Chain A
Amino acid sequence: MKKNSIKKIKEVGTLEELDRIAKMLVRRDFELSEIREKRDAELKELEKRNKEITGSRIALMNILEDVEKAKEKSEEERDKTLAIFDNFPEGLLFLDKENRISSANPDIKDLFGLDPEKIIGKRIDELGKSSLAPFIDILKESPKGIYRKELKLKENLILEISAIPVMKVEEKIGTLIILRDVTREKIIERLKTEFVSIVAHQLRTPLSAVKWTLKMILDGDLGEVSKEQREFLNKTYISNERMIRLINDLLNITRIEEGRFLYNVQKQSIIEVAERVIASSREEAQRRGIRFEFKKPRKKIPEVKIDSEKISLVFQNLLDNAIHYTKTGGHVKVSIDYLKDEEKIIISVKDTGIGILKDQQKRVFSRFFRGANAIKTETEGTGLGLFIAKNIVEAHNGKIWFESRKNKGSTFHFSLPTS
């Protein structure tokens, strides 16, 4: 065998062949170790992956648990919201973006006789001539903020409707409509107004009897009156006039509340209306030793659409206050300005009177308000004048405001639109 091999080698004849084989063996060996290393690396990778998967599984389990909890919580929240919605003591409707009814609470049935189940998913205008029809108008106005309106559905059912846009981030997702039965409140309000109105009328009768009698005695129609008697009778006459004014104020307020306040609205000159009132105020100011000034605009100003009787009352109230709360030697000034660009006329009544205390300024236009310093100066006064003035000005789409400093004076302004 050995001989054969050597022989064979010899036969091959070369050492190179041997070398080639040896090299090949070395290379194979190297390749094998490379494969082994690669396999080891893959195994390590696999092990790592396995660990990761185990980790992920735990994480996933945790997440699932959280989701479950969140679901429970959201269901709880949903049930709570639904319970609030259903038990809310007022009618609630939720409309989606297309004004389709997406929820309605049981109160809707009481208010409209509509089965909430049957109207879900329908658009309001699809309900045809249903009792919900008046809403269509409200929704057409597409309220951006909270919208309120009173609606008389039947003789014995008055609703106050509030439409509230529901926003999610910046986007409107629907409208919540709240329907409140205000029938009872309205009845009470009406009864109160009627009561005041009747009382005021009934009070006027004896007051006119007193006024007429006193006037005839003072005029000497019923015989001669002594100087002393005249003095007393004069004071009684003034008291009676005060009472008449108070009742007139109360009647004006009931009219404001009944919403039938403006009557005879016509285009006319504000200066003429002002001049009529100013004539009597000027005399009163002179009697009290107050300098009175009326500054008319230099140029012609447009006429305004007003109920002149009511606007006179605003002038009267502002002037009465200015004169009553300004001491002898003071100054009252009325001015009228036209702001062409803003299309309005501004009327100002400025006095150098006692002013309004700063902490009371917010309440100036509320009913029965009288300034603490005003009560000390003048016992007379109902605290209704400025409330009435504000209502009249606002009924004309105008605004009323003031500036005032204690012991320096007040300036009241009101604006009236010219367009």
Chain B
Amino acid sequence: MPKKILIIEDEELLCNLLKRKLNEEGYQTSVAKDGVEGMKMIKEIKPDLILLDIVMPNKNGFEVMDEMQTDEKLKHIPIIVISNSGQPVEIDKAKELGAKDWLIKTEFDPQEVIEKVKKQIG
């Protein structure tokens, strides 16, 4: 049974690139285009890992993490944040909310994202 990964990211191009790369690696990948849709899909598919953007319409990444924290069934799903920004204050806040890692998009490329994913769920 392949591991399930949910990408919550509003930038379509980045989503497609990541999805393609992750599928090639044998993961089963789903995509949500904002926080609201993301929350719905987390509950539906119960992914093994979430790649989460921060700045998104409707519901941002921090709000998604906040909501997951209040749900016993969801709070243990590992999250890797993929964000445009990377200020220490934000990173610390995300780690407090259970994020395993924080990647700044401009400093990483898809291959490195895959490596981070593998480190979390193999």
Contacts and interface: CB of A to CB of B under 8 A. Distances in A.
Contact of A204 (B18, B87, B105, B109): B105
A397 interface: no
Interface stretch (A99-107, A205-213, A228-236): A205-213
A205 B106 CA distance: 8
A205 B53 CA distance: 11
A263 B89 contact: yes
A215 B111 contact: yes
A21 to B, nearest CB: 131
B106 A263 contact: no
A52 interface: no
Given A215-B111, A221-B21, A309-B88, A208 B55 contact: no
A211 B111 CA distance: 12
A219 B85 contact: no
B17 A212 contact: yes
B11 interface: yes
Interface in B64-109: 84-85, 87-89, 105-106, 109
Given A204-B84, A212-B17, A221 B24 contact: yes
B1 interface: no
Interface string B6-25: 00000101100110110010
Given A204-B105, A209-B13, A216 B110 contact: yes
Contact of B85 (A201, A213, A309): A201
B106 A207 contact: yes
Contacts of B105: 204-205, 208, 211-212
Nearest to B113: A212
Contacts of A212: 13-14, 17-18, 105, 109-110
Contact of A208 (B84, B88, B111): B84
A273 interface: no
Nearest to A247: B106
Contacts of A260: 89
Interface in A248-270: 248, 255, 260, 263-264
Nearest to A244: B106
Given A201-B55, A264-B88, A216 B17 contact: yes
A211 B13 contact: no
A204 B106 contact: yes
Taking residues whose C-beta sits less than 8 angstroms from the other chain, chain A's interface range is 20 to 34
A400 B70 CA distance: 49
Nearest to B10: A205
A212 B12 CA distance: 12
B84 A205 contact: yes
B89 A216 contact: no
B21 A209 contact: no
A213 B105 CA distance: 12
Contact of B111 (A205, A219, A244): A219
A378 to B, nearest CB: 22
B110 A215 contact: yes
B109 A211 contact: yes
Contacts of A213: 13, 17
A201 B54 CA distance: 12
A244 B13 CA distance: 18
Contacts of B109: 211-212, 215-216
Interface string A21-35: 000000000000000
A334 to B, nearest CB: 24
A201 B106 CA distance: 11
A205 B85 contact: no
Nearest to B12: A209
A208 B110 contact: no
A268 to B, nearest CB: 15
Contacts of A309: 88
Given A215-B111, A219-B111, A208 B21 contact: no
A201 B110 contact: no
16 contacts: A201-B84, A204-B85, A205-B11, A205-B84, A209-B11, A209-B13, A211-B105, A211-B106, A211-B109, A216-B17, A216-B21, A221-B24, A221-B110, A222-B20, A244-B106, A260-B89
Given A201-B84, A212-B105, 11 more contacts: A201-B55, A207-B106, A208-B84, A209-B11, A211-B109, A212-B17, A212-B18, A216-B20, A216-B109, A263-B89, A264-B88
5 closest residue pairs by CB, A with B: A208-B105, A215-B109, A263-B88, A204-B84, A209-B13
